[in-house]
Structure 1
Amino acid sequence: MLPGGGLVSARVAWRHSLRFRLALTYSLLALVLILLTSLGVVTLLLSRMDQQFTDRLNERADTLAEAFTGVQRGLGRTAGSASAYTMLIDAEGVVYATSPILREFNDAPFPFGTQGQVTVQDTSVRAVQRPVGDFGTLWVGLPEVDLIAARQSALSALLLALIVAPLLLLLTGWWVGRRALSGLEHAANLADRIDPTRSLATLPLPAQEDEVHRLLTAINRLLVRIEDGQAREKQLLGQIVHELGAPLTVLKASLQRAEERTNDPEVQRASLVADELTFTTQDLMQLARGELEMKLAWHYIPARTLRGRVDRLVPGTTFEGDWTGGILCDPDRLTQALRNLTANARRAAGTDGTVTVTLTETPEWLTFTVRDSGPGLPPELGERIFQPFVSGAGSSGLGLSVSRQIALMHGGTLTGQNHPQGGALFTLALPGAALGDDSDDPDDPNDMDEADLLNEPPLPARA
């Protein structure tokens, strides 16, 4: 909730959302599993293909060797088909018979020795040798073109799967996570709209009793306990303020009579302390009642009456601006707000510092500015300075919170900042009140013009 009373609906950035982290984790784990599984499958597949290629090569070599050493050896024939890789090598290592594709090696020394894999005419060939009796040695080769193509196809498919699968898994995980966490997101939006100054309504539960249902149930139980605790705190605070109110009233009256009789400075100081305690109890009472239970008693009073009240409550305050007009307000509540601001300013400025209250008026707004010569507002507090029990000047921390609440109840605002020339500057703005002459009877006693209202005697302060 904003300090001004507005509600904020917070949206989580996609990179910080729970469903994105779940989808990303799910995708990474799935990618690792797919990678390991695919590598295993591809490795096994390539191993089987390689084994089949080797078996085929050995089978061809054994068949050709048997053909040369058998009864029907087929002497004079070419060893293998036109595309076969075969050579006959004599005892001196000279090739004396080849398949047509290897005719260039005829009558030349055998070039490959005992190598099991060679390159022939820019083609990778895997080869084996077999003895063929008196004929010497049979060399048989088998091109690896098909095996290499199958190996490259398998690796390309694996690479494509590693690129496409994570994207599909991430999108699927995002969609599934969004569906699964929709109830939690709806509950978070409802919880974000809960006004802590009002009754803490519980969150609706999803139909499915899953982990989200269990979490929301726990949150509802927590909300009920918070509301019960707040009610007990308000009740206790109200009782404490009530018990303090009566003795303080008697004390104030006694000190006022003593001040009138003796004019003793010590008695005057004690009277001011009693006023301080009285306003503190009023702040506590307003905090205990809350904004909804606080009713304003509207009056149109002279601005000078308000100035006189503040001057009496916080002596040494300098007033500037135009105080000759009138103000439509609850006099006691507005006095309380300005008194809290000036008392805080006096506390910050010290006895030798200055506190200035300036009133400016436009047709739309009445603006009170309270400036002091103190060290200014702590920058680390920011808007927290208006929260209850947050203080940067050693006070109770209630004054600014209550003053902003009073300003809001009047339809106005209260802001605070550091003045460019030093010290703190608080601005309390209230809507202006334009009075019109709605009656045609000048003798109507109930028809009071602005001059009559400004000449009214000051209203007594509310205890």
Structure 2
Amino acid sequence: MSPARLRGSWSRRRSRARDRSRTLTPTARVLRLRRRISLLFALTSAVGLVAMAVLAVRSDSGRWREQLDHTMDADTSWALGLLETDADGQLVLDVLADSVDTACPPLTVLLVDGDDPAALTVEHAPAKPCLTVSRAVVLEAGRAAVRADGVRAFDGRTTDGDPVRVFAQPFYAPEAADDAGPQGVLVTLADATAQRDDHRRLVWLVTGGCVVLVLLSAGVGHVLSGRAVRPALAALDRQEAFLADAAHDLRTPAASLRTLAETALRGETDGADVHRRTLRLAEGMGRLVDGLLTRARLMSGTAAVARQPLRLDQLVEAVAEEAVEASSEGHRVRVEAEETVVVADPDLVRRAVGNLLDNALAHGHAPGVPADVLVAVARDGTLTVEDAGPGLPPEVAGALFERFRSGSGSTGLGLSIASWVAHAHGGTLTAGRGARGGARFVLRLPSPD
């Protein structure tokens, strides 16, 4: 394939990947991020555990070899002390043969033949050794010790295939010069079967432990990543709830405005009446937008609660007076307030009280009958709003302060905001049946100490 085609194919793959990324919803992207975090956590743990496992295995491998080498070094050092030479400088092995059972561990004496370090001859070897290796292995160990002019040890195999440790230690003529080479080499063997078996068990144990720990870390990482992305998912849920509230609340007044405009264009309605109705709809939409923004700020925690001493009785009287003046249906609001001071945010409390009054004036009366609302303020910071309407429907009583919940087809956004304001101040908002059969809302706010 030509370079131009390769570049085009790569570009198309990248384009498809970008398209797939764009089609993912925000929630799906957060969940994908959670999976990537979990995978990264597991991979990081796996790399660390594998590195530690490799170090442990290598350390154990070197440890058991050092133990065998130390034992064989002691054996060969003692055996070298038994080597003697005659008057002609020839090596005498009688004392070694008489004093040491060279069958186990097997001790083989090699002599350097001439000036060539590679030319070795077997001077003594056990007749029936407990460990049997090929002559080539023994000679190679001797040559390595002569070339290095020092001790050498390495792994090997017996003729039966069992693991052994081969150890070679050179020795020198008694009257040899300092720069003279070794006179010969003493080679011994050690059975490494038990050590190899123990090492293999350790390898399997470490491997199994790493697998278990990696799986455990993957599970822990999945849980931790879930907790990490939980605020993001909650924020997305709040955003979707806000958009749903906005769409739900604004759909009806927007449709009413369109209908009103179409009616005015056809000339079927008086112009002054159209203006009045348009103004009322615009004011209602403004209140809806204001309420939605307040609720969004409360839910996201961006609305700062400016707590300060507040005369609750005066605020309630002012809000009640404004509500009566704004109503054109002859509603009645009675206020029974004692002098009360609470610690709260004036703007938020005003909105909560206004929403409770609006709810009572809108739903707390029979059709065609003016509302009769009683508002009471107690010294302990308790505000009671009670109407004489039909009361709370059983189907909404359990979820009255959730969005899209009310008694007569509205969204219930005002009650939701009032509940949020109460909880933001450390207070409560409860609903129940009043003494006159209508709804009774009780808002409790903290009083100054």
Q: Settle same-fold status: TM greater than 0.5.
A: no
Q: Shorter-chain TM-score: what band?
A: 0.3 to 0.5
